[in-house]
């Protein structure tokens, strides 16, 4: 009997991926590598980053629902759809396949509690079914940095992050085994346990636990609620707002609690992992969490916010709706999807006044505004070149585009002057060697490596509100990059 118990425990560990046999490990690595190749390809080449949250329940997955909402989603040009998923029954395959055939990628959200422990066996059965149906992205938990996520005894204990990872890792490993990407769950911006601190501690703990496969394929997620801040709030992340700390927001500084939360999360990923991570944005366009937005009333200013947000997702250069002489920074290429809250909800739902449609026959004014914008030729295409569209100087940045060249020990490089000629003829930037002049530009292109123009100087340019890019490498590389723009 004891031998049977031991064998059962070993089998269980093999099933949840704690100890994998060599053959299983090889197959797992191959499957995950193939899947992440798709992710990396999407993050570079997929231009449609626009998504929507579908109904905030699991009752609208019939074929008739698909036929009703698919034309609207296509008219809005949605490429992603966030779906609520039950842990004891699967969303019908025809609904999912219909979305996929229309080139709309489903993202499944399982809002699992910390307590009680999820039914691993039953959940694995459902995830296996989803894997066969081609589902790529699943989120297992929601806002684990919030007090409400935990039972009172669990919240009071120490090592909160490690205890959450004890729940997350078996499910993430299982999803990876099946070729599905498990999103690191979105956190409450700010939150009971400050979200940026929770994320940093989680990444450090994953490294400490020696989880290279999870870290290599990590996809983050974040809630991009506005918190009633301007659309530009927090852009540039901690590099631009270095005085901001967890729980502390100094006067004249900004933090992660806004649309540009992805800049802050990427800064943490780069600091801990020395690399950026793909990221999914949820709840975009909403002022707060759905629970806190119950009394939200739509207004013309909010519709303008949403329209500017959609144009930004489309790759346009956009003026801030609240500060027209301030150009918004483009959406990071690491953002896989930016999902807008909320497509629709039942009339008796507490989220009804937050949705774009009361029913398909009764859209809110923002829907008509977006359809008119689409009909006027602003259709999504290849991401527009920022150099070609950054045409509006402002009082804050009177220079449109500055090409900053290094001064070498031998003086001004004749080679640099020769190699930039095609670029200058095409984009007509202001050319110079002055760091102070460059700070007055909306966009700064830096030629040269970190020894010639330091990263500290680039950080100061970003803090001044400049959009900065560096072109560096050996002579052939720089010439290739310049001519390829």
Q: Look at the chain and report how many structural domains it folds into.
A: 2
DSSP character for 148? Answer: G
The reply to whether 180 and 256 lie within a common domain is yes
The reply to whether 356 and 391 lie within a common domain is no
The reply to whether 364 and 402 lie within a common domain is no
Question: What local confidence, expressed as pLDDT, does residue 19 receive?
Answer: 35
Q: Answer yes or no: are the C-beta atoms of 374 and 77 closer than 8 Å.
A: yes
Q: Which residues pair with 183 in a beta bridge?
A: 139, 219
Q: Which residues pair with 81 in a beta bridge?
A: 52, 106
The reply to whether 110 and 247 lie within a common domain is yes
The reply to whether 216 and 171 lie within a common domain is yes
User: Last residue of a domain, which of 345, 360, 384?
Assistant: 384
Question: What local confidence, expressed as pLDDT, does residue 414 receive?
Answer: 73
The reply to whether 138 and 255 lie within a common domain is yes
CATH number at residue 444: 3.40.50
Helix (H) or strand (E) holding 312: helix 300-313
The reply to whether 294 and 379 lie within a common domain is yes
Residue 40 CB neighbours (<10 A): 12
Strands (DSSP E) found in 196-343: 220-223, 279-284, 319-320, 323-327, 335-340
> How far, in Å, CA of 334 to CA of 337, rounded?
9
The three-state secondary structure class of 436 is: helix
Question: What local confidence, expressed as pLDDT, does residue 426 receive?
Answer: 65
Question: What local confidence, expressed as pLDDT, does residue 83 receive?
Answer: 98
Q: What is the residue-wise DSSP string for 366-429?
A: HHHHHHHHHHTT----SPPPHHHH-----SS--EEEEEE---BTTBS-HHHHHHTHHHHHHH--
The reply to whether 333 and 458 lie within a common domain is no
Question: What local confidence, expressed as pLDDT, does residue 417 receive?
Answer: 77
Query: How many residues are recorded in the chain?
Result: 485
Strands (DSSP E) found in 132-278: 137-139, 181-183, 220-223
Question: What local confidence, expressed as pLDDT, does residue 41 receive?
Answer: 40
> How far, in Å, CA of 138 to CA of 141, rounded?
10
The reply to whether 296 and 415 lie within a common domain is no
The reply to whether 287 and 197 lie within a common domain is yes
> How far, in Å, CA of 345 to CA of 333, rounded?
31
Residue 414 CB neighbours (<10 A): 9
User: Last residue of a domain, which of 364, 384, 404?
Assistant: 384
> How far, in Å, CA of 323 to CA of 447, rounded?
31
The reply to whether 268 and 406 lie within a common domain is no
User: What mean pLDDT is reported for the chain?
Assistant: 84
The reply to whether 378 and 416 lie within a common domain is no
Q: What are phi and psi of 424, to 5 degrees?
A: -65, -45
Question: What local confidence, expressed as pLDDT, does residue 246 receive?
Answer: 95
Question: What local confidence, expressed as pLDDT, does residue 439 receive?
Answer: 92
- Which stretches of the chain score pLDDT less than 50? 1-29, 31-32, 35-36, 38-45, 379-391
CATH number at residue 64: 3.20.20.80
Question: What local confidence, expressed as pLDDT, does residue 23 receive?
Answer: 41
pTM of the model: 0.74
Instruction: Tell me the residue range of the domain where 12 lies.
Output: 2-384
Question: What local confidence, expressed as pLDDT, does residue 425 receive?
Answer: 67
Tokens of 323: 């500060």
User: Last residue of a domain, which of 351, 384, 417?
Assistant: 384
């Amino acid at each position: 009997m004891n031998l049977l118990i031991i064998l059962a425990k070993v089998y269980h560990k093999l099933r949840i991926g704690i100890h994998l046999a060599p053959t299983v490990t090889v197959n797992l690595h191959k499957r995950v590598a193939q899947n992440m190749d798709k992710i990396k390809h999407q993050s570079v080449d997929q231009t449609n980053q626009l998504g929507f949250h579908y109904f905030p329940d699991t009752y609208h997955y019939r074929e008739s629902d698909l036929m009703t909402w698919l034309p609207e989603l296509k008219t809005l040009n949605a490429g992603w759809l966030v779906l609520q998923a039950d842990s004891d029954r699967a969303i019908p395959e025809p609904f999912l396949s219909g979305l996929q055939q229309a080139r709309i990628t489903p993202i499944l959200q399982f809002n699992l509690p910390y307590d009680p422990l999820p039914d691993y066996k039953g959940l694995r059965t459902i995830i296996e079914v989803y894997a066969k149906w081609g589902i790529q992205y699943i989120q297992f938990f929601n806002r684990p940095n919030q007090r409400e996520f935990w039972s009172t005894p669990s919240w009071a204990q120490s090592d909160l992050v490690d205890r959450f990872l004890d729940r997350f890792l078996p499910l993430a490993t299982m999803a990876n085994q099946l070729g599905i990407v498990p999103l690191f769950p979105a956190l409450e911006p700010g939150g009971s346990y400050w979200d940026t601190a929770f994320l940093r501690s989680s990444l450090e703990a994953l490294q400490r636990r020696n989880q290279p496969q999870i870290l290599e394929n990590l996809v983050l997620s974040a809630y991009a609620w506005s918190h009633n801040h301007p659309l530009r709030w927090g852009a540039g992340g901690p590099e631009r707002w270095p005085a901001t700390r967890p729980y502390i927001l100094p006067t004249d500084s900004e933090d992660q609690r806004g649309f540009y939360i992805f800049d802050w999360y990427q800064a943490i990923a780069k600091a801990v992992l020395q690399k950026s991570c793909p990221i999914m944005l949820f709840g975009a366009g909403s002022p707060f969490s759905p629970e806190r937005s119950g009394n939200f009333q739509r207004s013309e200013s909010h519709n303008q916010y949403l329209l500017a947000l959609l144009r930004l997702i489309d790759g346009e250069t956009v003026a801030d709706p609240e500060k027209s002489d301030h150009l918004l920074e483009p959406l990071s290429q690491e953002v896989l999807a930016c999902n807008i809250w909320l497509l629709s909800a039942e009339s008796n739902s507490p989220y009804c006044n937050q949705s774009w449609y009361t029913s398909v026959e009764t859209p809110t004014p923002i829907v008509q505004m977006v359809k008119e914008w689409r009909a006027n030729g602003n259709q999504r295409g290849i991401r527009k070149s920022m150099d070609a569209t950054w045409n509006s100087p402002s009082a804050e940045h009177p220079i449109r585009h500055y090409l900053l060249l290094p001064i070498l020990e031998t003086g001004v490089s004749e080679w640099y002057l020769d190699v930039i000629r095609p670029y200058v003829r095409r984009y007509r930037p202001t050319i110079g060697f002055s760091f102070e002049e460059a700070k007055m530009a909306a966009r700064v292109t830096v030629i040269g490596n970190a020894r010639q123009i330091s990263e500290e100087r680039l950080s100061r340019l970003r803090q001044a509100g400049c959009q900065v890019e560096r072109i560096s490498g050996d002579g052939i590389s720089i010439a290739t990059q310049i001519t390829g723009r």
